Structure 1
Amino acid sequence: MYIQNALPRQGAYFYRIMIEYIRGELADLTPALAVVEAHGVGYALNISLNTYSALQGKTTVKLYVHEAIMTGGRDDSYTLYGFASRQERSLYRLLITVSGVGANTARMILSSLTPAELCNVIANADEKMLKTVKGIGLRTAQRIIVDLKDKIMQSGIADELHVSSQPGTPAVDTAIKDEAVSALTMLGFSPAPSAKVVVSILTDQPDLPVEQVVKLALKMIK
C-alpha cells in the first residue's frame, strides 16, 4: 500500500494502491468519464482525452487505476482515475507531485499531449509547448520540467516511450510553429490541440511555409 500522507490531516489528500486495474464492459463513455462494469459493479473513472481516444469503439476495456481520497473536510471524497496505459498513469502521478499542479491540471496536460509527447516536452525542456496547455503558465511549465526531467529518465518511462533528451535541437521550426498556432488560436481553436496538429504537420513536412501549415491544420483539427 502506498499512502502519500501517512497521517492525513484536516483536508488532507492522499492516494493508495488497492485497485491496480479494472477490466470489464464499457457501459458509458464521455470525453471526461468512463463507466466500466465489472462483476455487476459500475465503476466511474475520470479519464483524459488520450484515454478517451484509446477506448473509442471498444466494448471490453482495461483501465489502470489511480485512487484519490480527500479526508477531513466537510465532505470526504473517493475518486477513481482511469488510464489506458501504465505510462500515462505514471506520468499523472508524477505531475501531481509538482507544486501548483493538481488533479484537474494534470488531466488537462494529459488531454493535450500524449504520454510520448509529454515526455519529449519535458526531456527537451520545451517550455513553450507546455504553456500551450490551458492553465499552465511559464513558472509552472518550468517547475514541471525541473522537477520531472530526471524522474522520467530514471523511472524508465522515457525508455518505454522511446524518448531521448536532445536539448537545443528542436524537432520543428519553432517560429513557424508558434506563428501557425497563433493564427489557429485567433480563428477560435484551442492552443493545445492546435499545437499538436501543427507539430505533427511540421514533423512530416518541415519545409512548409506557415500559410500551408495553417491550411493543413484546418483540415485536421476536430
Structure 2
Amino acid sequence: MYEYLRGTVASAAPTEVVLDVGGVGYRLTVPVSTYEAVRAAAQQGGAYTLLTHLAVRENEWRLFGFATAAERRLFEALVEVKGIGPVMALHILSASPPAEIVRAIREGDSRFLHRVRGVGRKTAERVIVELREKADRLLPEGPRETSASLPAADDATRALVSLGYSAQVARRAVERAEQEAGGERLPVEMLIKRALQHVK
C-alpha cells in the first residue's frame, strides 16, 4: 500500500520516527539501524525518505520504516517465518546489522539469533531452516556501513528498554559496553549490539 514516505523528520527515537509529509505526521516503528540514519539526516535538515512496510491486524494498522532496501527485505523475510511477528523481527534487526544476521543464517549460527530477547532456540533454528536458501538474495547490495555518531548511551539504554529489558539492566549493560570500548565513540547500533552481550 505504501512503498515509501518522504518528508521532514518531526521526531526520532531509537524505535520510532515521525515523518512530516505535507503537514501529516506519519509514525513509523523502526529498527535501531534506521534510527541512526534518520538522526544523522535530521541534524543536516531537509527531507528524508523511509521505505515502508504496512502490517495489518484486526485492530491495528502499523507502519514500519527502513533506511535501506536490505533492512526491509530482511524484515519481510523474517515475518514470513512461523512464530515471528513484526515486533520480534524488529528486535532481531535492532540487535545486529543486516549483514551479520544474514551471515548467521547462511552459516547456520542459531546461537547468534538465540541471543536476541524473545527468540527461543527452536525459533532461531526455524529461521535458519526457512531462510538459509534465500540468504544470498536478502543482502545483494552488501552490508550497509553505519556512520560514527556522538556518544549514544542514553539512546542505547532507551532502545534496550524498548526491547523489554529493565532500565537498570539496560543501563548497566550499556555502561559495560562503553567500558570495553575504552573511550572509543560507538554508534548507537554498535553500542546496543555490545550491550546485548551483557544481558544474557
TM-score (norm 1): 0.64
2:60 partner letter: S
2:103 partner letter: N
Per the alignment, residue 189 of structure 1 pairs with 173
1:66 partner letter: H
Per the alignment, residue 123 of structure 1 pairs with 106
Per the alignment, residue 141 of structure 1 pairs with 124
2: CA distance between counterparts of 1:188 and 1:142? 30
Per the alignment, residue 21 of structure 2 pairs with 38
Alignment of 1:5-24 (within 5 A): 18-24=1-7
Alignment of 1:36-185 (within 5 A): 36-59=19-42, 60-71=47-58, 76-153=59-136, 156-161=137-142
2: CA distance between counterparts of 1:144 and 1:54? 27
Structure 1's unaligned 5+ residue stretches are: 1-17, 163-184, 198-213
- SS of the residue corresponding to residue 173 of structure 2 reads coil
Percent of residue pairs bearing the same amino acid type: 34
1:25 partner letter: T
Alignment CA distance shift 1:27-1:215 (3 Å): closer
Per the alignment, residue 216 of structure 1 pairs with 180
Q: Which has the larger radius of gyration?
A: 1
2:139 partner letter: A
2: CA distance between counterparts of 1:101 and 1:30? 24
2: CA distance between counterparts of 1:112 and 1:121? 13
Of the two structures, which has the highest relative contact order with CA contacts closer than 8 Å and spacing of 6 or more?
2
2: CA distance between counterparts of 1:36 and 1:148? 32
Q: How many residues align?
A: 155
TM-score (norm 2): 0.70
The structure richer in helix per residue is 2
2:180 partner letter: L
Measured on the aligned residues, the alpha-carbon RMSD in Å equals 2.4
Runs of 4+ in 1 over 6 A off after TM superposition: none
- SS of the residue corresponding to residue 64 of structure 1 reads strand
